Amino acid sequence: MFLISTNCRVTRNGHLWMALIALTLIGAPALATSPGKTPTRIIQDRTVSGRVLSGEDNTPLPGVNVAVKGSTRGTTTDANGTYRISVPDNNAVLVFSSVGFISQELTIGTRATVDITLAADDKTLSEVVVVGYGTQKKSQLTGAISSVGSKEIAELPITNARQALQGRAAGVDVVQNSSKPGAGPTVRIRGRRSINASNDPLYVVDGIPLAGGIDDINPYDIASMEVLKDASATAIYGSRGSNGVVLITTKRGKTGKTVVSYDGYYGFSDRLGQIDVFNGAEFAEYKRESRRAVGNYPAGPATNDADVKIFEPIELDGIATGRSTDYQSFLLRQGNIQSHQVGVQGGNEKTQFAISGNYFKDVGIVKNQDFTRYTFRVNIDHQISNKIKVGISTLGVYSLRNGENFNPLGGAYAENPLGKPYDDNGNLIFLPTSDGLRTNPIAEIIPGAQVDLTKRMRLFNSIYGEWNIIDGLRYRVNFGPDLTNRRIGRFVGSQTNARRGADPTAFSFNEYQFNWTLENILTYSKTFNQVHNLNFTALQSVQKDDYETNQISVTGVPAETQLFYNLGQASLINSVGSDVRRWTLNSYMGRVNYDYNNKYLLTLTARYDGSSRFGENTKYGFFPSAAVGWNISNESFMKTVTWVDNLKLRASYGTIGSTAIDPYQTQAQLARTAYAFGTVGAFGYRPFTISNPDLKWETTTTGNIGLDYSFFKGRLAGSLEYYRADTRDLLLFDQLPLTSGFDRVLRNVGKTRNQGIELTLSSVNVDATGGFRWTTDLQFTRNRESILELFNGKVDDVGNSRFIGQPLTAYFDYKKIGIWQTSEAEEAKRYQSVPGQIKIQDTNGDGKIDPFDRVILGSQVPKWSAGITNRFEYKGFDLSFFVFARIGYMFRSLFHQDFLTLAGRYNSLDVDYWTPNNPTNEFPRPNQNQEFPPFRSTLLYFDGTFVKIRNINFGYNVPSKFTQKLGVSSLRVFASIQQPFIFSEYRTKYKGIDSETDGDVNADQSPAVRQTTFGINLKF
């Protein structure tokens, strides 16, 4: 049977499926005899099934070739290592073969079930890679795919799965923008393509494309992560593949002994340094200098008489007593992080199961910031008969996050250190100084003063059924319902800086999302004459999403203990709102994989997608790709080159799309407006946006050339990639004359390009007979991003800082070349400046500074990034360390914008500012009469280059002679240090927090964190 959904607005006819049903007739055994002859015996084929496991770790092996020797009959094992094949008689011999394992032959005899374990073959590559809607041996891949296994994931005490990709997959740029508990990183695969639409990759978990992200998934549940990067690999996902695809496979049960496991760790989080602001004495001198600059304080050393004129009594008391209040110390603490997971895996020939439960908690170093997550997963596979199999993967998640939008440190950085936070009786002083805009930062963390709580619940399922119609022909249906509920509650009390004694405010936001996917998949595999291997995959898919929100904001909560739980009693309702967004995607796909004698490879893919997000005239898009591969090492002329294990050249070219815009963007929309109806006011509606029924997909055409290699019996292996991706028909707002009644319309305009190289290198440096082993994994990425065309072709859009030939984000501003010095007073005067102020480059040399002097300073795109992991093993001990670097990019620091005003009123970062006695070129002279220095924006651009020791992990596998006495099968204890060192000029020289960012550095950053953890991995 076929399950085909018909409730999508965009539908197609069923001719494709009629043709696919005809495939069920291929290969059917003919039992008829020649006319006029009576058969003496009819030979009835029978079915043999079984499972293939790895001899290394007893895990299932997908993609193993199973063939009847001397015939053309053959099949491959599925993702769980199971197979079914028809055999003619009891003398049939089954041949099991897979790249990376030694082939075996077995005579089946009278057995109906034949299980086998394949031993690893060190002379060949051992990886089997998950691809879209199936698996492939690495030797047969024609696309650019990077893999991260469970071993690499388990090395890091990470909060979410996206963090595991950083520095572990070439071409994948992962940036952790915040150290707040529960914060996720940004992932970009081979750069950014779109200016206005999303650049996030598509995530697929256990075969189901997600709409809700992967941060709810427990990293310990992941068996592998595959990153699809080029058109050949991603075209199978069509309209959603242009930003790359991340396939996540979770751990499943295994036939055999039931294994109970515990994996856990506990550790401590400490701030990696402290933000350096002026102390009491430095602030006093800073304030004096801001007055000297305008003649309100005499030059020379400070005097009491002069101080009395500019300092208030509490400040004078602080100067006299040497008081220097470190407000940061009241808001920071030692945090902790812990994870505890219990898992049960096992099964028999009929049913396999994997059950796990996890508790994770990250208490941040900033008070009132923490993240707690409870996850429960059940994966079950059951063989109903020798032809039908069903299974389910269920994930239940409940999480609590405190302080997602709360950070009191900004007040601590700006607060006057000469102030007094507590009176002599220990009571909090709400206004430490007479500055009405500055309140005591400690008041922000008083219990109940500010509450920012996010609750999230999610239930995600991947349900499948498989029907082996005949040998080689398999039908599979996938159904993936995904339900998410999120509630955000915020409360700000009266005694906080935001309210300063005014009525409390509260806010509640509720989000509901239900997404489901239904897929019908037909695969056909056949081997002809033992050298022609053919695999065909066809898909029909529907995905629907329903997203609803409602919110309310109030002022005047009568009792602060009510927080945001009884908003109806508030004295003022500020706003009430609700929204709904729905979309549907209908898809058809076909893929052909062919190889001749494992030498010459061909992959053809085509996908036809229809999206409700686009205009009536352009709902459907067609996305084809083609790829070829040549296993050079399998040629006869390479047989004598014994040091080459594997050498494969491949190339791909194809087109993929992007649906990454919100629903209803193609439709004309109305907005509410107020007007006079006679003598009274009334509400009406006016045209708000212009419809564009011709709006269509952003389309990316990608070419890729890759080389896979393995030398010296696997001691040196990896891949090298070169790619170019051109994106056209960008979804951008084109400007309109205001006389039209509108200021813009969403259109398909512009082109961008990404091109670069990627290197993956794994080496076995030492493998001594005494037990010492040293291996290294290196990932290197260099990507170049550029705009090719905009609204008016190859013309810059200066107003939006978009320039032809430059990356999507380029910083266009005046260029600071130093500080005007005393000896340059006359020249500074010609530029309407004075010594001590910022010196700007006169780019065009016309003797004045105006907008024509602005230049492109840099961009957020690094020149290159890399990650390297070294692992050492010796007699049960293991040590690994992971280093990650992003080199040669620029960012804008809004942190410096907020905390470097240099007006002598608020405290400031402890920078090297100019004075007549300190003629520096770093920062200008403080000035009381300036809210901020002229050309302040030039002080905000920094080199973002950094090198981080991301992780150091030391472990010990307890010998079996001791674990047997303990009644356990294995035990490993370990200690780990996460991010012990950051090497960055932005931190050391310019007082910043962390230069790891994919955009501007936010003023709301939490300090960088070092985590030390201790844990065990235990199996019974």
pLDDT of residue 742: 83
pLDDT of residue 56: 64
pLDDT digits (tens, 9 = 90+) for 811-837: 999 999 999 999 999 999 999 999 999
Average pLDDT over residues 325-337: 94
Mean pLDDT value across the chain = 88
What span, in angstroms and rounded, lies between the C-alpha atoms of 191 and 198? Answer: 12
Residue 185: pLDDT band with limits 50, 70, 90:
confident
Percent over 70 (pLDDT), the chain:
94
Residue 11: is its pLDDT beyond 70? no
Residue 59 DSSP code? -
912, 927, 935, 910: which is closest to 838 by C-alpha? 935
CATH 2.40.50.140 fits 46-118, yes or no: no
Number of Cβ within 10 Å of residue 224's Cβ equals 20
Quickly tell me which residue has 């020791």 as its tokens: 949
Residue 122: pLDDT band with limits 50, 70, 90:
very low
pLDDT digits (tens, 9 = 90+) for 401-437: 999 999 999 999 999 999 999 999 999 999 998 887 8
- Asked whether 746 and 692 are in contact (CB, 8 A), the reply is yes
pTM: 0.83
Number of Cβ within 10 Å of residue 855's Cβ equals 11
| Structural tokens at position 315 | 């400040």
pLDDT of residue 564: 94
Residue 336: is its pLDDT beyond 50? yes
Residue 792 Cα distances to 58, 697, 751, angstroms = 61, 20, 11
pLDDT digits (tens, 9 = 90+) for 683-706: 888 888 888 888 888 899 999 999
What span, in angstroms and rounded, lies between the C-alpha atoms of 451 and 563? Answer: 8
Domain residue ranges of the chain, discontinuous segments joined by +:
46-118, 128-261, 274-323
Residue 120: pLDDT band with limits 50, 70, 90:
low
- Better-predicted residue by pLDDT, 109 or 542: 542
What span, in angstroms and rounded, lies between the C-alpha atoms of 860 and 1006? Answer: 21
Average pLDDT over residues 639-656: 92
Stretch among 24-33, 460-469, 579-588, 862-871 having the lowest mean pLDDT: 24-33
Average pLDDT over residues 470-479: 93
Q: Is 301 exposed, middle or buried (0-12, 13-18, 19+ CB in 10 A)?
A: exposed
Residue 235: is its pLDDT beyond 90? no
Residue 5: is its pLDDT beyond 70? no
pLDDT of residue 134: 77
Stretch among 39-48, 272-281, 670-679, 881-890 having the lowest mean pLDDT: 39-48
| Structural tokens at position 568 | 């109806």
Residue 468 Cα distances to 92, 134, 518, 525, angstroms = 21, 15, 19, 12
Average pLDDT over residues 767-794: 91
pLDDT of residue 139: 75
Percent over 90 (pLDDT), the chain:
57
pLDDT digits (tens, 9 = 90+) for 494-542: 999 999 999 999 999 999 999 999 999 999 999 888 889 999 999 999 9
Residue 23: is its pLDDT beyond 70? no
pLDDT of residue 19: 38
Residue 450: is its pLDDT beyond 60? yes
pLDDT of residue 617: 83
Residue 38: pLDDT band with limits 50, 70, 90:
very low
Give the pairing of strands 93-98 and 82-87.
Answer: unpaired
- Beta carbons within 8 Å of 32's beta carbon, 6+ residues apart: none
Residue 966: pLDDT band with limits 50, 70, 90:
confident
Residue 198: is its pLDDT beyond 60? yes
Residue type, 502: A
pLDDT of residue 107: 87
Average pLDDT over residues 302-326: 94
- Asked whether 161 and 222 are in contact (CB, 8 A), the reply is yes
pLDDT of residue 517: 95
pLDDT digits (tens, 9 = 90+) for 373-394: 999 999 999 999 989 999 999 9
Residue 349: is its pLDDT beyond 90? no
Q: 128-261 in CATH: which number?
A: 2.170.130.10
